[in-house]
Amino acid sequence: MPKNQKVLPINKYSIYELKAGIDKEIQTYLGEEDFEEIQKFSNIKILFGLLTVTCTGTAYLYPLPFPKNYYIILFSVIGYLIFSTIYWYIDKKIIDTIFYVGKNEDYCHKLRSKKPKKISEIRIHSDIEDSNKHIYKLWFDFILEDGQKHVSDKFDFNCTEIYDERGYIHKEKVIKIFKVLLKEQVAKV
C-alpha cells in the first residue's frame, strides 16, 4: 500500500464497524466541503434522554421513605415510560438509517442554478443489506424550501471494493463514489 494513501483501520469481521467507518468518512468529507450539520434530531434525543434520566433520578433519590413517596415514584415511572418511548420512537422510526443531516446552499446552488426551489436540508441514509452483509446501501432525502421531500434511489456498494483484505477502508474510494453520487442526485432534484 502506498505511504501517501489515507486509510482507516477497522475490524473487517464486523460489518457494522465497516458501515460506521464509511459513514464517518462521508461525514468528514461533508465537513471539509463546508456543509453545515443540522443537529435537530440529536438535540431532541438528548432532551428526551435527559428527561428519562431525571425521572429515574427523582425516583431513586427522593428523600422520603416508600409509603410517603408513592406518588413521586408513580409519576417518575410513568414519566420514564413516556419519555423513553418517545426517545425510542425518534431513534428507531424517525431517524432509523439517517446518519447525517446538513445543508450547503452554495454547493447545491451551483449544481441547481436553473431550478427555482432551494434545497434546505439533505438527509443521508445508509444501511447494510440483510441478505448480503457485504452490500452497503446509500440514499438521500432532499427537503426543498417549500417542504417537499424527494427521496433518491438506493445505491448499493460492495464493501470488498472499499476495504482491503487487512481491514482498511480506503478513504479516497469512498469519497470518490460519494462525490459522484451526491452531485448527480443534487442536480436531479
Question: Which cell is 30 given?
Answer: 461533508
- Which of 97, 109, 127 is CA-nearest to residue 19? 127
Give per-residue pLDDT as tens, 101-149: 999 988 888 888 778 888 999 999 999 888 887 889 999 999 998 989 9
- Which of 90, 74, 135, 140 is CA-nearest to residue 111? 140
Residue 1 has pLDDT above 50, yes or no: no
Mean pLDDT for all residues in the chain: 88
What residues pair up with 135 in beta bridges, in sequence order? Answer: 158
C-alpha 149 chain-centroid distance: 17
What whole-number distance in Å separates Cα of residue 136 and Cα of residue 160? 10
- Which of 169, 171, 126, 187 is CA-nearest to residue 10? 169
The better pLDDT of the pair 7, 34 is held by 34
Give percent of the chain with pLDDT exceeding 70.
Answer: 95
Residue 5 has pLDDT above 70, yes or no: no
What is the pTM for the complete model shown? Answer: 0.83
- Which of 27, 29, 49 is CA-nearest to residue 38? 27
- How large is the average pLDDT for residues 55-60? 93
- Which of 107, 109, 127, 144 is CA-nearest to residue 33? 107
Q: If pLDDT is split at 50, 70 and 90, which confidence band does 6 have?
A: low
What whole-number distance in Å separates Cα of residue 174 and Cα of residue 152? 19
